[in-house]
Structure 1
Amino acid sequence: MKYTAFALLAGFLLDLIFGDPRRLYHPVCAIGNLIAALEKGIRGILPRSQKGELWGGFFEVLIVCMVCGGIPLAVLSGVYRISTAAGFVLESFWCYQLLATNSLKKESMRVCDRLKNGTLEEARYAVSMIVGRDTKALSKEGVIRAAVETVAENTSDGVIAPMLYMAIGGVPLMFLYKGINTMDSMLGYKNEKYLYFGRCAARLDDVANYIPARLSAGLMILAAPFAGLNAKEAARIYRRDRRNHASPNSAQTEAVMAGALCVQLAGDAWYFGKLYKKPTIGDPLRAVEAEDICRADRLLYAVSVLAVILFVAVRLLILH
């Protein structure tokens, strides 16, 4: 799309100013409903065997990708043909809806507020809204780490990766990425229910996030001084600990965040009542504190601004 660079900038600014438009039906909710409905239908048709679930997961991914990429492409192309201004407004608005900078900060700061002004139980509940792990038994330090880790991971998944894909292929490619990412969050578990059915979704998400995760980590290191954080330590921990996760991508940004804050993140965690042994990331140069959530959000904003400037500039240079 000719005006994608400007739509990306407009959408980013709208997200910073207004945050998630909660009164409007969110596209990711529609994607989630589609994924859930397809899963139910496919499981009802194919046999409950390893092979059947692998094929079922493949068909789920295929259909979701076609819908998430195809419908926005058709709608946006049609609107642009009718009116360039209307197409630009729609592309900007969809970009605004699909970016999560403001909402990620708000949700993480809610955890920080409950830690400072509420109870540990309230902080556990607040962090449960933004993480997938079990939170009922988390200590104060565990709540802080969980919040900081989700800010680090979602800096890539919720901000930098969507920006990158929009810069490459406009909002339709951004929608396709969000479809892939949402499938992974709903189906990509290594438990009995999703070990085979969710495998294709999880592998595709790994591929889709491979470059964005590493680009995000590099940009976070560059942005760390602007957030008042330790860029040298961020780079050191990144080089050492960027592979300390079962996912090939998750530790990329978590390692940078741990180094920038000079704390230790990750380690063992409970998911669905089961303890998962996980390596730590970073060095415990000091104890984590609630203020680290604020510092993580500063880095989130700094890298988001740096990324949008980079992507808009590159997109404009390519077009001209």
Structure 2
Amino acid sequence: MHRGVSTAAGLLIGFAIDRAAGDPRRGHPVAGFGMLAASLESVTYADHRRAGVVHELVLVGSVIGLGAVLRRGGAIPVAAATWTVLGGRSLARTGRMMADRLEAGDLTAARELLPSLCGRDPEALDTDGLARAALESIAENTSDAAVAPLLWGAVAGVPGLLGYRAVNTLDAMIGYRNQRYRHFGWAAARVDDMANLLPARMTGLLTALVAPLVGGRPGTVLRTWRRDAHRHPSPNAGVVEAAAAGALGVRLGGRTEYRHGVEQRPELGRGPAPAVGDLRRAVRLSELVQYAAVISAAVLAPLSAVLWDRMRGRSARG
């Protein structure tokens, strides 16, 4: 089987397994990587950027090297890696659970659930605040947990799948601007920004494509993206959150309370603030984008393989 075709097949199979089974409840490889990274940090940590660069290179480089070994097995390792790195079904399930708890008026249970979606202070949020926090997290994580790994898998196979998840996990662990990680986590944050530049914009385009299925308009998505995304402090989260706001006809951003303090985020979109019903629509939008992403990745994988083969051929002739 041609390498591009086997990659496409592996991506489709791995996506199907994720949709059917979700993340394993115990022994998740990503959790194991996180434990390894935390242990290594006790050795590599120093309050300067060079130490963070070494930390990033060792961990991400090791994972990409492992992926390069595993890629020789055809579709099976691609499927296994895809299932390992995807988090789309778990994201949608958590979003629905949040909507259920908010509709039932159980704010205590909703607040307990919020940390599994984002790092905001749940005790400071009411029903609408919890709905907005969950919706924004679902929009951003649709790209991080589904579109980005699928795109990197299509372009680079198993090394792309595993390498992207390593980059994204390290950013979630140390890519902060607090006192401990301002310098050490700089490389993790910058590499994650670069790794998500194209996936975030692909997510925005796919959001525009499927917007009519959640009551939105593609033109509104693109206008909101163009008008508002650049105002967000993140070059990537701004794109996907603005696109989601345009598709759902809601206004995101505003006062955002974290445990470390309060941030005033720019407003994205021109509709009303999101309510619980909008959160359910956001979950549906996320799932539609995920399906569109895996189809796009399956089409892109053979084309990418042909391009890599041509580049290698030119290099050999040179």
Same fold? TM cut 0.5: yes
Q: Secondary structure at the match of 1:267?
A: strand
**In the TM superposition, what is the alpha-carbon distance from 1:131 to its structure 2 partner?**
0.3
> In structure 2, which of residues 258, 266, 269 is the aligned counterpart of residue 279 of structure 1?
266
For 1:249-306, what per-residue CA distance to the aligned partner results, in whole angstroms no more than 9, with x for missing partners? 11101001111111111222222331122211111x3342111111011111111111
Separation of aligned partners in 2, 1:230 and 1:22: 38
> 3-state DSSP class of the match of 1:243?
helix
Q: How many residues align?
A: 303
Contact 1:267 1:280 in 2 (8 A): yes
The 5 Å alignment of 1:260-279 reads: 260-279=247-266
Once residues 13 and 158 of structure 1 are traced to their aligned partners in structure 2, the CA distance between those partners, rounded to angstroms, is 15
> Per-residue deviation at 1:231?
2.7
> Which of the residues 235, 242, 260 maps onto 2:222?
235
Q: Which residue number in structure 1 is paired with residue 275 of structure 2?
A: 289
Is 1:31 the equivalent of 2:19?
no
User: What's the CA shift for 1:200?
Assistant: 0.8
Tell me, in whole angstroms, the C-alpha distance in 2 between the residues paired with 1:102 and 1:14: 10
Compared CA separation, residues 171 and 75, structure 1 to 2 (3 A) = closer
Aligned to 1:191: 178
Q: 1:195-206, aligned counterparts within 5 Å?
A: 195-206=182-193
Residue 115 in structure 1 maps to residue 118 in structure 2? no
Are residues 1:71 and 2:66 paired? Answer: yes
Of 159, 162, 166 in structure 2, the residue corresponding to residue 172 of structure 1 is: 159
Shift of 1:167: 0.3
Q: List runs of 5+ in structure 1 lacking aligned partners.
A: 81-86
How far off is 1:89 after superposition?
2.6
State the 1:76 CA deviation.
4.1
**Hey, what's the Cα distance between the residues in 2 that align with 1:118 and 1:89?**
45
Q: Quote how far apart the aligned CAs of 1:319 are.
A: 4.9
Aligned counterpart, 1:13 = 16
Q: Is the 8 A contact 1:108 1:127 kept in 2?
A: no
Tell me which residue corresponds to 1:98: 85
- In 1: Cα distance, 2:157 partner to 2:302 partner: 13
Output the amino acid matched with 1:203: R
Aligned to 1:312: 298
| Amino acid corresponding to residue 288 of structure 1 in structure 2 | P
Segments of structure 2 that go 5 or more residues without pairing to the other structure are 307-318
What is the root-mean-square deviation of aligned Cα atoms in Å? 1.6
1:299 corresponds to:
285
* Inter-partner Cα distance in structure 1 for 2:165 and 2:304: 24
Contact kept, 8 Å, 1:230 with 1:262, in 2: the verdict is no
- 8 Å CA contact 2:155–2:304 kept in 1: the answer is no
Which deviates the most, 291-300 or 158-167?
291-300
Contact 1:234 1:256 in 2 (8 A): yes
Letter in 2 for 1:20: D
Q: Name the CA distance, whole Å, in 2 between partners of 1:316 and 1:227.
A: 31
Name the amino acid aligned to 1:154: N
Is 2:130 the partner of 1:143? Answer: yes
Counterpart-to-counterpart distance in 2, 1:131 and 1:14: 25
Counterpart of 1:248?
A: 235
Please report how far the alpha carbon of residue 162 of structure 1 lies from its aligned counterpart in structure 2 after TM superposition: 0.2
What secondary structure sits across from 1:277 in the alignment? strand
2:36 aligned with 1:41, yes or no?
A: no
Q: Secondary structure at the match of 1:269?
A: strand
